[in-house]
A and B are shown apart, each in its own frame.
Chain A
């Protein structure tokens, strides 16, 4: 998952953060009510289309999935061997392919493997969906979402300042590294002890500088009235527009029909 935000003006960018979060939630529910890999494939395709629409390249998704391949294989193997035949409703899925251990123990079921595939698809669709979400939503929007969810001001404040100071601290780090290099420090010592030791000249000034900065930051915040009241004026007016309502309606329709298919028609189960 990438946390970088790509500024843009697509429909997804303009949607209210809450709508996007509801949509994300809806997608999670959707993928968890179905067990059939075919249905999961449909969901993956849906998110894939979203990603395609956002011009997130296939290579990027490929790069995100690649490190997960060992995990995916492990998941499929584990589910394949541990899911007992009784857990599946359909006879075809109860079929046992073979046994690993003699005496008919630890059998591999068709349903188990299918379940593993479902898990994999869920993982991939979640990954794509969350990437799409972070790529189209600015940090400000997320913070606003926290505020709307009545997360305490202190926590949102902490988040904003933390994000605000990332570039500042990174600059400090660079300056410290340069200053220490000029005194002959090598930062690439071998071994764990060596590398810890060589990083002390970086870490200690980093801590000291952070503390000094935190000190003056606390002064600056008090200077500007922080802490006088428990709340603060929200700087964004709530803009729940027509397209947001449309999106919500679409989500509801999708979820309802999914529930109908799953619980009335009893489809999509293994």
Chain B
């Protein structure tokens, strides 16, 4: 069986459209009815019939009996937790599975009237464009123009037509006039838009985007979403988008398809899915924050399912109607006390980080940090937010000595970073970077954890004890002797954190701990960080996820152009709409809701759904943070 598949695979690559007709045995199942497919083709851009796929060397199939049709001109969003099979499905659509990636594929994939199994990937690229997650590896050319022209050149499109098509494609992704720019100098968002242009230039009728924003910052994401809106207006284009961000999906999608463990478990209009919180929890999809308040009302049987709000205006209206009927809101005396108490707590504590007049220049004349002054007390949970290039990471890298001040000083846990090198500071200050793959190099999880301890000079028994402890703490015990790269991204991220935790840092800096994770992964990671914070570790988190920042951090520092713009409790920071706009930060949805309800809340800001619902609790329960 394996052999015949390989032969089939080679045939597929070497021959073009329909030259080889696979027999039933080669196909690995009964041949689908061609006639039925032909009849449906004019309306359907994508037609999957009972598709199953198993990666080579894996036991469990990644797709199970997926049958799916997408009509021409529709915008479909594919959702689901990590490992649900979303990427696998997108790779099936243009033939990368099974032509590049081997494994066992059964069922029929029909795209734009072409049987994908029998058409070469290169020929498919004229009818279906696939954009992958990482913009970096999709760019082939040195200049924007050279890169965009790559596709049509392979199809031997004449020179003058290429010129014209390149300009058209670049205009569609808002990169008009970028022709001569070097690709390496583009921002993440620009790179990803260039990748989109690179497939659009081949004029496909279908565009598939596999988490195109997962590697981008909020601005880059916004750019992609705007581009998608532009493309949507062109009704001829069928779009399939794999996406995690619920708020974006609801605005765009005609239809949502949810995959869970390789199976299509739900499909329908997005609003229906996002009102059903139980379903979202089951599928591991992040709910829209305001819908959680609505869900509370629904559970109390005050409203129907269809009345659950999905955006701020409808939530405002709902709360205003329901509050007189069911509310128990008596103002916010306790809240003030609560905040006051916290301030008191801070002043009693020792100082973890002291930054004095810090200026940092990557090259003379170009200041990345311009005069930072701040103090972080032991036991605080601080979040740094701001655009890419605002100086968040540059500032954080000063805390473990990776960068040394050009001017001013940084004192961490009593040590001036000018006097100690990073390897010494690493025993006290832990720094977890965004991409775990930049540090994992051992053959087992256990060895990976031991590495930092050996560097710090620990020996035999102590190493074993600490590793055991951290493996238990992080839930990685069952992966102890597994090769880290055989695990998923979420687990690898956890290994990266664990490999720092073994050093028992007093101060933990976490740079984007949740990028690219699904909702379940985010919850696990944040649960761990909260546990560490509760145990007394000072936490500094750099994040673009404002919902997380509002929910977990006790202090938020907003950076812009190397300066501190705002510094305070999340409630206070996120209500400064104007200043945040200036720093291109969108406050979390619930803070936006609080601002709209400011007359009721008497200038109190709520950042958790439970605080809103507490207004409706009959017995006195303080809305705790």
Chain A interfacial positions (CB closer than 8 Å to B): 139-140, 160-161, 163-164, 167-168, 172, 175-176, 178-186, 200-201, 204-205, 208-209, 212-213, 216-229, 231-235, 237
Name the A residues within 8 Å of B431 (CB-CB): 182
Bound form: Cα–Cα A43–B134 in Å: 52
In the complex, which residues 144-160 of chain B have their Cβ closer than 8 Å to any Cβ of chain A?
A: 145-146, 149-159
> Per a CB cutoff under 8 Å, which of B100, B402, B427, B433 touches A222?
B100
Contacts of A219 in B (CB 8 A): 91, 96, 100, 130, 132
Digitize B598-609: 1 where CB-to-A-CB distance is under 8 Å, 0 elsewhere. 000000000000
Per a CB cutoff under 8 Å, which of A183, A222, A232 touches B500? A183
Stretch at the interface among B52-60, B61-69, B116-124, B304-312: B116-124
Task: Determine whether the beta carbon of A208 is less than 8 Å from that of B455.
Answer: no
* B125 close to A (CB within 8 Å): yes
Q: Are A234 and B123 in contact (CB under 8 A)?
A: no
Binds A, one of B240-248, B249-257, B435-443: B435-443
Q: Is the CB of A225 within 8 A of B151?
A: yes
Cβ-defined contact, B137 with A140, below 8 A: no
- Encoded as 1 (CB less than 8 Å from any A CB) or 0, chain B from 197 to 219 comes to 01100100000000000000000
Q: How far is the CA of A270 from the CA of B431 in the complex (A)?
A: 70
* Residues in A whose Cβ lies below 8 Å from that of B121: 222-223
Q: Which residue of B lies closest to A139 (CB)?
A: B142
Q: In the bound complex, how far is the Cα of B485 from the Cα of A237, in angstroms?
A: 47
Chain B residues near A163: list those with CB within 8 A: 142
Give bound CA distance, A70 to B198, whole Å: 52
Contact among B129, B145, B485 for A223, CB-based, below 8 A = B129
CA–CA, A183 and B142, complex, Å: 35
- A220 near B159 with CB under 8 A, answer no
Do B137 and A220 touch across chains, with their CB atoms under 8 A apart?
yes
Nearest CB of B to A171, in Å: 9
Q: What distance in Å separates the Cβ of B472 from its nearest Cβ neighbour in chain A?
A: 21
Evaluate contact between B122 and A228: CB separation under 8 angstroms.
yes
B452 engages A184 (CB within 8 Å): yes
Can you identify 25 A-B contacts, CB atoms within 8 angstroms? A139-B142, A140-B146, A160-B141, A164-B139, A175-B433, A178-B402, A179-B433, A180-B439, A181-B422, A182-B400, A182-B426, A182-B431, A183-B499, A184-B452, A201-B439, A205-B437, A208-B485, A216-B137, A223-B199, A224-B125, A225-B126, A232-B153, A233-B152, A235-B159, A235-B162
Q: Are A179 and B439 in contact (CB under 8 A)?
A: yes
Q: In the complex the two chains form, what is the Cα distance from A185 to B400 in whole Å?
A: 13
Q: Does B423 contact A (CB under 8 A)?
A: yes
CB-CB contacts below 8 Å: B84-103 with A: 91, 94, 96, 99-100
Interface contact B451-A201, CB-CB below 8 Å? yes
**How distant is the Cα of A94 from the Cα of B158 in the complex, in angstroms?**
65
| Chain A, Cβ-Cβ closest to B138 | A220
The answer to whether A229 touches B156, judged by C-beta atoms less than 8 angstroms apart, is: yes
**Bound CA span A201–B158, Å:** 48
Tell me which of B157, B184, B400, B456 contacts A167 (CB under 8 A).
Answer: B184
Q: Tell me the minimal C-beta distance from A6 to chain B in angstroms.
A: 15
**Contact flag A228-B155 (CB < 8 Å), given A167-B184, A222-B96:** yes
